[in-house]
Homo-oligomer: A and B are copies of this chain.
């Protein structure tokens, strides 16, 4: 599987993807799921892919090809705004579906792929989308400031508690990493390295893109201190009053 998350706050965007891919347990490898389309001063667009790797790689190939051909369709560089860029990715998905969908169905394989797309095009604010395999999409808003795809559930409770549109970019990056520690603690199909992008609103260039490997001291510190902090929070919880009251249960 995969776990990707995009967070949109007032000061910019944080986007992260893991790199584990597996086709059965005997075919596990590392694949980058983050693709950056950048033209400094004009646009930064980051795509995070989840689902069938053949499909998502084909979509990226279509987008690259159309850009090189200076085609107007399926070209995120030709899009005048982020909505049109999301439409371009959706069109590329539909093109791959027309080519492969029926063949996959013959082999009982779902046409399963989704993309988180975040970025900014000059003239409008940063925006964040989740594009479904049907090529349609939803957009993040201040009320739902983050979007996930892949193995989303393990990391959702901490994001629900931590993410706030007014937080700093550093804190948004920390929130994303905390949600990765929760996910990777509970699910082996999500794995390091994590690719992480921090995009500052109106910079229109990619300033921070890191790959967090197993030996990354900062990530290790976050994981260990978060675990300790949770245990400390747990120890501070009150003892069950409803157990005390009837005297039927106390610590053995």
User: Across the interface, which residues of B come within 8 angstroms of A39, CB to CB?
Assistant: none
A187: min CB distance to chain B, Å:
8
Question: Number of A interface residues, CB 8 Å?
Answer: 59
B222 engages A229 (CB within 8 Å): no
Contact of A241 among B153, B207, B217 (CB under 8 A): B217
Q: Is there a chain B Cβ closer than 8 Å to A175's Cβ?
A: yes
Which listed segment binds B: A16-24, A89-97, A154-162? A154-162
- In the complex the two chains form, what is the Cα distance from A197 to B202 in whole Å? 55
- Asked if B11 contacts A234 (CB within 8 A), the reply is no
Given known pairs A154-B154, A160-B185, the reply for A229 and B238 (CB within 8 Å) is: no
Is there a chain B Cβ closer than 8 Å to A240's Cβ?
A: yes
Q: Does A230 contact B (CB under 8 A)?
A: yes
Looking at A51-59, A70-78, A98-106, A243-251, the stretch in contact with chain B turns out to be A243-251
A186 to B239, CA, bound (A): 25
From B162, B210, B237, B246, contact of A208 by CB (8 A): B246
Q: A153-B186, A229-B233, A243-B170 are in contact. Are A221 and B238 (CB under 8 A)?
A: yes
A81 CB, nearest partner CB in chain B, Å = 24
Q: Is the CB of A234 within 8 A of B230?
A: no
Query: Are A252 and B186 touching (Cβ within 8 A)?
Result: no
Bound state CA distance, A228 and B155, in angstroms? Answer: 18
Assess the B161–A227 pair: CB atoms within 8 A: yes
A44 within 8 A of B: no
- Best-buried of A238, A240, A251 by chain B (most CB within 10 Å): A240
Is there contact, CB below 8 Å, between A238 and B222? Answer: yes
Residues from chain B with Cβ under 8 Å of A185 in the complex: 157, 160-161
What is the CA–CA distance of A251 and B169 in the complex, to the nearest angstrom?
A: 6
Q: List 17 A-B contacts (CB under 8 A).
A: A153-B154, A156-B186, A162-B231, A162-B234, A168-B251, A169-B249, A173-B243, A175-B234, A198-B243, A207-B248, A208-B249, A216-B242, A218-B240, A221-B238, A225-B233, A229-B233, A229-B236
Report the 6 A-B pairs with minimum CB-CB distance, sorted nearest first. A229-B233, A153-B153, A168-B251, A157-B182, A207-B248, A11-B252
